[in-house]
Structure 1
């Protein structure tokens, strides 16, 4: 459960106790107030985590088990902002709203697999792209090759679908999944400057920092969305990034609010 300013209950009480074990003088009252947010930010700074004051899975895990080396770092976001020549608060807002929050499933640094979603209708197209008729596979393996989306198993089980699709055609399978924090489709690998689909996959498996790097390349490759991010036109950015239904999930409103919060926190820290 993600804990943030205003959250109350046993989860926050456990958070307080974890922070107390790390030397923060908090009262375990179960209320996520200003003192808790300050302590969370301080702990995140100490650990090299993203400094957002939000106790999500990665912060809570670091409190209990130590920082996962694959976890996104504040330094990664700083580097992304410098590369894109945008405000750090803007990159932090996009990371908060547009990413999945975690780029890997649980399993420890060595066993963690990246978050993916395998798309069987994309697999059909990619097989055609590689000069392979999808028709026989549509008949034999409709859960892996199909003209319609679906067949999802969710979570880590998607890697089983990816592996089975790889037995049909390894590169097409990689290209047919969305990957990591920002769920970028694998078929973008060449457009984003990766030398092969397998190199793309290796990057997505390496760390959340490498997944953020892919997102940066994705933004750089689209001048219009890059310009929207630079001028902090959240409505235009959300429309281009999320599609015409962006208003249904209030992406523009959420981005604007997250940007204001991060900008205030960065100004205060400075």
Structure 2
């Protein structure tokens, strides 16, 4: 589903405008995504509780078509997060827009994941109990890397994407259930499973069960991730986007312009209350 936004001109925009009119919008159907259409999209998003960004992505189009939106991120989630983090709502909108992969669930209802074979290797050789022998764990991890390099490997890679990532994870769980769940990133914000304890969950299984329920819970895990990283939290509060991007995205942040995208997203949302008063 193609994302529609301000400046677009197409038959898809015309169809969306017709859908908006059927939901009560006073809008001219001309196929041009101008100010009036953006305002109508924002009004519709606010009415149904979706994130109010004026962009007609897959979630807004799904809702307009009468689809099930129960698992989707809600605008009130962002409003509450801004209060919780004590930052402008525009800052929360910016990090949600730039740092999210867009959706937290696959079409089959399973959470979006990415299995990291190099993390699996690391988790397998990490002592978990006082009686663990580090040299034996290292030997075992190396042996598995030799026999199952697609699942256990000192080097990253082997990604398949989509539903196939769940197949990779299922195979890895047969090797070590806990290590496998810890070695995948989960949901729209790609939070690694091994962060479960830092984020306040009782186990990695509890973390996985939680983020498998809704995007709202995935977003809560993302907020916890920020709260429990003092440097990241400080950068967000000061709106030091270069520092935030470097800490969250790693050394590739410059190549992908994450800091610039964050700044531009903040500026775009700075003058919009995004339904803050209504949500409160």
Contact 2:79 2:276 in 1 (8 A): no
Q: Counterpart of 2:263? A: 256
Distance 1:105 1:268 in 2: 28
Q: Counterpart of 1:51? A: 52
Output the TM-score relative to the length of structure 1: 0.93
Contact 2:52 2:275 in 1 (8 A): no
- The 5 A counterparts of 1:146-225 are 146-225=153-232
Q: How many angstroms does 1:268 deviate by?
A: 9.6
Q: Counterpart of 1:141? A: 148
Structure 2 spans left out of the alignment, 5+ residues? none
Choose the corresponding residue for 2:124, options 124, 127, 135: 127
* CA RMSD, Structure 1 to Structure 2 (Å): 1.7
Output the TM-score relative to the length of structure 2: 0.90
Q: How many angstroms does 1:269 deviate by?
A: 7.9
| Alignment deviations for residues 65-103 of structure 1 (CA, whole Å, 9 cap, x no partner) | 234111000111111111111111100111001111111
Distance 1:189 1:12 in 2: 42
Q: Matched residue of 2:271: which SS?
A: helix
1:245 maps to 2:246: no
Q: How many angstroms does 1:178 deviate by?
A: 0.7
Distance 1:16 1:171 in 2: 48
Distance 1:233 1:176 in 2: 30
Query: Which has the larger Rg?
Result: 2
- The 5 A counterparts of 1:25-64 are 25-64=26-65
Distance 2:32 2:106 in 1: 29
Which is richer in helix? 1
Distance 2:19 2:104 in 1: 24
Q: How many residues align?
A: 266
Q: Matched residue of 2:114: which SS?
A: strand
Greater mean deviation of Cα atoms: 23-32 or 200-209: 23-32
Distance 1:187 1:119 in 2: 11
Structure 1 spans left out of the alignment, 5+ residues? none
Q: Counterpart of 2:113? A: 116
Q: How many angstroms does 1:27 deviate by?
A: 2.6
- Structure 1 runs of 4+ aligned residues shifted over 4 Å read 267-270
Q: How many angstroms does 1:171 deviate by?
A: 0.8
Contact 2:71 2:215 in 1 (8 A): yes
